[in-house]
């Protein structure tokens, strides 16, 4: 069957509309039917009560009682001609004509008709059972007789005399009165008319409400079908919980609609779904991205939860409908660590290639001296190499850093500083006997402080450019504390600068005279300045330590002095291990 000829299923909103219309119609019809039935039953009971009252009145008429008694005491039943001209017929027809009843029938004690609207029926047995009335009981009935369906009553006729009544005397006949059900139906029709109009109005209101509900449903579901909504929910859960990027959804009314697990982890916050975005405990830089007058801009960097994050925001639109904002968070901390480590490895590789070249030159020199017979000069040259070492380590007194990780990292920084004309030296108070157990945090804090100091030394006015580093390991049972002090030859902070301002996110003094080192993580010149010191302090404080400014420095040098304390970052070593490390460093 061609695709175009296939029957397309009804949309969910259309199905809902049809279902609502069907329910409204069913409710209205059932309500109208129940009301009509109740009205019919009420009018029927009224007709029965009216017939019972009329039958009682006829049966209590003394003339009727006397005539019925006279016929009952006589021999046989008078012929129809006599009954037609008799007083009972006249009395019954007079009552029927006056009250509008369908029939007024009088019988004797055997149920033979003594009065009937149809004279041809006189003297015949009544068509409905008269036994209950002849037994002295008053009954109401709804049945179909010779004159059609009716609602009526049967009342016994007692013989007249002293003491006669409904509780005494002899039953000599009965009176049957009925009202046509057609007149009952006409009464019901008159009562049901307003009901029908009310039902029609209710049906119209239900149809209108159904259409309005359909339109609202389409707006709320953005015109999507239930299957599409279910698929979107599954996809949303899979995507939001399966990615490492933080996702924050801000609805058009200013509330957080999505706050996935990655966002909770990066911002160190619980699930903030449902919280007003303006009151959410998130960095102000994120809120600035979603200002009403904001446009899509480049990603920004910020420090949150001890991590460097890259944040971006985009407007969410669906068929030109504004759905709010989507804020994306990406963690650059691990990338920074890897970049710093790769830079260190690359720098050390370059240094080793240069030293290998130097070592090759030294071997050629020795070979040349030996070939020309200058054996004494060769021995003196070898003695000099033995005293200074065949390879020159880029940082003097590096043996004070007995941790190989610190030696390699500081050595790499020394090579970088030397390339920029800055001498990186280790102060005499340095002593590290433990081994670093948290290299990432130590690298981040130490690397930022050294990079800032090198930048300050390069930008300073002093011709003697240097950076001095002192590191002291303070052992503890739960892990040693690493104390780091970094000084430089730069021009220090500008006079009057608040010492706490340098740790604020976004603060940088790059390129300005008389300033401190720029707070750029990893020495970046753009896009990332103003995060290094803030990140270093957050990492240190998260471990229970701190990073603070000891000296602001003076113009012309020396420059600013920073100190960092990093608890639980080192572990103590045995004496044997320490001795081996010392031997290795002296080799």
Pick from 14-23, 25-34, 51-60 the range whose average pLDDT is largest: 51-60
Q: Is-contact 486 561, C-beta < 8 A?
A: yes
Q: Give the residues across from 468 on adjacent strands.
A: 425, 487
pLDDT tens digits, residue range 309-343? 888 888 877 667 777 888 888 877 666 667 666 76
Higher-confidence position of 306 and 544: 544
Of 179-193, 362-376, 381-395, 504-518, minimum mean pLDDT range: 504-518
Distance CA 337, CA 441 (A): 9
How confident is the model at residue 233, as a pLDDT? 67
Angle of the 62-73 helix axis to the 87-99 helix axis, nearest 10: 140
pTM for the model:
0.46
Residue 289 has pLDDT above 60, yes or no: yes
How confident is the model at residue 38, as a pLDDT? 80
% of the chain residues with pLDDT over 90? 6
The answer to whether the Cα torsion of 180, 182, 186, 189 is positive or negative is positive
Q: How confident is the model at residue 561 (pLDDT cuts 50, 70, 90)?
A: very high
pLDDT tens digits, residue range 45-76? 888 888 899 989 998 888 888 888 888 887 77
pLDDT tens digits, residue range 461-513? 888 899 999 999 888 877 889 999 999 998 888 887 888 888 876 666 554 43
How confident is the model at residue 514, as a pLDDT? 37
Question: Which of these, 63, 80, 47, 219, lies nearest to 149 by C-alpha position?
Answer: 47
Q: Which residue has the tokens 């990140």?
A: 535
pLDDT tens digits, residue range 196-207? 777 777 778 877
Q: How confident is the model at residue 518 (pLDDT cuts 50, 70, 90)?
A: very low
Q: How confident is the model at residue 564 (pLDDT cuts 50, 70, 90)?
A: very high
How confident is the model at residue 468, as a pLDDT? 92
Distance of CA 200 to the CA centre of its chain: 41
Question: Which of these, 112, 99, 75, 110, lies nearest to 88 by C-alpha position?
Answer: 112
Cα dist from 91 to 159, 294, 340, 586, whole Å: 17, 101, 125, 148
Question: Which residues, at least 6 apart from 572, have a Cβ–Cβ distance to it below 8 Å?
Answer: 433, 434, 475, 480
151 three-state secondary structure: strand
Mean pLDDT computed over every residue of the chain: 77
Residue 563 has pLDDT above 90, yes or no: yes
How confident is the model at residue 486, as a pLDDT? 94
Residue 578 has pLDDT above 50, yes or no: no
Q: Is-contact 532 442, C-beta < 8 A?
A: no
Distance CA 139, CA 133 (A): 7
């Amino acid at each position: 069957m061609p695709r175009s000829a296939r029957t397309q299923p009804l949309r969910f909103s259309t199905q809902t509309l049809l279902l609502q219309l069907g329910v409204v119609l069913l409710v209205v019809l059932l309500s109208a039917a129940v009301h009509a039935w109740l009205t019919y039953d009420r009018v029927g009971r009224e007709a029965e009560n009216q017939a019972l009252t009329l039958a009682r009145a006829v049966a209590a008429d003394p003339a009727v009682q006397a005539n019925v008694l006279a016929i009952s005491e006589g021999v046989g039943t008078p012929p129809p001609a006599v009954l037609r001209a008799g007083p009972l017929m006249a009395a019954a027809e007079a009552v029927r004509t006056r009250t509008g009843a369908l029939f007024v029938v009088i019988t004797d004690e055997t149920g033979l008709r003594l009065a009937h609207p149809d004279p041809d029926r006189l003297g015949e047995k009544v068509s409905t059972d008269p036994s209950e009335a002849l037994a002295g009981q008053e009954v109401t009935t709804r049945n179909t007789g010779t004159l059609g369906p009716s609602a009526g009553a049967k009342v016994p006729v007692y013989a007249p005399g002293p003491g006669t009544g409904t509780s005494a005397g002899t039953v000599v006949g009965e009176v049957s009165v009925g009202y046509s059900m057609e007149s009952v139906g006409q009464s019901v029709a008159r009562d049901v008319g307003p009901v029908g109009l009310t039902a029609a109005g209710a049906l119209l209101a239900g149809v209108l409400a159904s259409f309005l509900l359909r339109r609202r449903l389409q707006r709320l579901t953005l015109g999507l079908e239930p299957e599409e909504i279910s698929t979107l929910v599954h996809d949303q859960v899979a995507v939001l919980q399966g990615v490492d990027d933080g996702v924050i959804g801000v609805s058009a009314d200013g509330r957080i609609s999505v706050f996935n697990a990655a966002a909770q982890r990066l911002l160190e916050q619980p699930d903030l779904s449902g919280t007003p975005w303006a009151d959410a405990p998130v960095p102000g830089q994120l809120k600035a991205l979603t200002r009403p007058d904001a446009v899509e801009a480049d990603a920004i960097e910020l420090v949150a939860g001890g991590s460097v994050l890259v944040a971006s925001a985009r407007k969410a639109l669906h068929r030109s409908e504004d759905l709010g904002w989507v804020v994306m968070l990406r963690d650059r901390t691990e990338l920074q660590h890897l970049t710093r480590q790769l830079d260190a490895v690359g720098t050390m590789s370059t240094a080793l290639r240069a030293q290998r070249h130097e070592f090759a030159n030294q071997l050629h020199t020795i070979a040349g001296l030996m070939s020309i017979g200058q054996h004494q000069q060769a021995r003196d040259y070898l003695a000099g190499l033995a005293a200074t070492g065949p390879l020159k380590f880029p940082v003097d007194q590096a043996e004070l850093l007995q941790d190989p990780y610190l030696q390699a990292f500081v050595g790499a920084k020394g090579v970088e500083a030397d390339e920029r004309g800055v001498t990186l030296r280790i102060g005499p108070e340095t002593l590290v006997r433990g081994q670093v157990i948290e290299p990432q945090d130590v690298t981040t804090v130490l690397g930022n402080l050294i990079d800032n100091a090198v930048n300050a030394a390069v930008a300073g006015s002093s011709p003697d450019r240097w950076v001095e580093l002192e590191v002291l390991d303070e052992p503890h049972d739960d892990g040693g504390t690493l104390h780091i002090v970094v000084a430089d030859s730069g021009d220090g902070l500008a006079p009057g600068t608040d010492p706490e301002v340098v740790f604020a996110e976004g603060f940088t003094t790059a390129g300005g005279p008389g300033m401190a080192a720029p707070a750029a993580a990893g020495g970046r010149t753009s896009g990332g300045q103003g995060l290094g010191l803030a990140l270093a302090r957050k990492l240190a404080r998260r471990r229970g330590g701190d990073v603070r400014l000891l000296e602001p420095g003076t113009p012309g040098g020396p420059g600013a002095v920073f100190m960092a304390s990093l608890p639980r970052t080192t572990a103590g070593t045995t004496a044997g291990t320490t001795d081996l490390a010392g031997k290795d460093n002296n080799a």
